[in-house]
Amino acid sequence: MTAPRVSDHALLRFLERAGGLAVEQLRAQLETSLDRAATAADTIGGGDYLIVADGLAYVIRSGTVTTVMDEGNPGVRARMLDPRGSRG
């Protein structure tokens, strides 16, 4: 018998309910910490963009953080925003 795969949603709910992780509080803190950079990007017509901070790259698409990755090199960061789908 093969063990069931655990979805991202299920893992998040497990951490929240069994592990006591304050998910909504973390979400609010992350949104607050990214607000200044997002506001700056919006004023220059940001569209899809990256916020790089503390060794992480936050991929923002249509105003939503869609993933967080290690910062990597500039080429990797550029590929994260490739509209053809070669996202990390």
Q: Hey, what are 38's tokens?
A: 């997002």
Q: What is the pTM of this model?
A: 0.71
Host H or E run for residue 75: helix 74-80
Kindly report the backbone phi and psi dihedral angles of residue 18, in degrees, each rounded to the nearest multiple of 5, phi listed first: -95, -30
Is there a contact between 57 and 68 (Cβ–Cβ < 8 Å)? yes
35-84: pLDDT as tens digits: 999 899 888 887 888 888 888 888 888 888 988 888 776 666 666 667 66
2 three-state secondary structure: coil
3-state secondary structure 20-38: CCCHHHHHHHHHHHHHHHH
